[in-house]
Amino acid sequence: MQSLHLGERTFRLTRARCDDVPVLVALLRDDVLGSAREQEDLDPYLRAFDAIDADPAHLLLAVRDEDDVIVGTMQLTLLPGLSRGAATRLQIESVRVGPSARGSGLGTALFRWAADYGRSHGARLAQLTTDKQRADAHRFYERLGYVASHEGMKLPLVPND
């Protein structure tokens, strides 16, 4: 796909493959919130990967370092809509940068790359949700120009038995 050159480091952005899923889930699990909500059983993640990979509106990235080790991930989804003059939105989810790449500028570079990706696919707005407990992430997103313009709400949908 593309490489990001940050100082003396180079990171390759690749479409995630099925065999990347265990490492991507480990990245999602590698923080206080993720460790409590991500599962050990990989089967649901593998099924989700198949659905994501089969849908051209989704791009699940595996970010690889110089040694081909996955050090980051991000899921991008293009959402067509009627509001805002029928604007397509770029939804950014599940962003993680592993410990070996933190402080390298990779997070900022990934978000800039994602904005370019969205523009090149017709998106007129990039959006994300972030847990209210992630104060550091909020400051990071604000530095990138994101504005907390809406209040997000969630409703867990449990299966009917």
What pLDDT, on the 0 to 100 scale, is given for residue 106?
Answer: 98
What pLDDT, on the 0 to 100 scale, is given for residue 152?
Answer: 86
What pLDDT, on the 0 to 100 scale, is given for residue 35?
Answer: 80
Q: What's the topology of domain 2-143?
A: Aminopeptidase (3.40.630)
What pLDDT, on the 0 to 100 scale, is given for residue 33?
Answer: 85
Query: Can you tell me the distance from the alpha carbon of 142 to that of 135, in angstroms, rounded to the nearest whole number?
Result: 11
Q: Which residues partner with 123 through β-bridges?
A: 88
Q: Which alpha helices (H) appear in the chain, and where do they start and end?
A: 21-29, 32-37, 43-54, 83-86, 106-120, 135-143
Q: Is 76 helix (H, G, I), strand (E, B) or coil?
A: strand
The candidate with the shortest Cα–Cα distance to 115, out of 126, 130, 127, is 126
**What is the chain's pLDDT, residue by residue, as a tens digit (161 residues)?**
799 999 999 999 999 999 999 999 999 999 888 888 899 999 999 999 999 999 999 999 999 999 999 999 999 999 999 999 999 999 999 999 999 999 999 999 999 999 999 999 999 999 999 988 888 899 999 999 999 998 888 898 988 87
The candidate with the shortest Cα–Cα distance to 83, out of 147, 127, 138, is 127
Using CB atoms within 10 A of its CB, is residue 85 exposed (0-12), middle (13-18) or buried (19+)? exposed
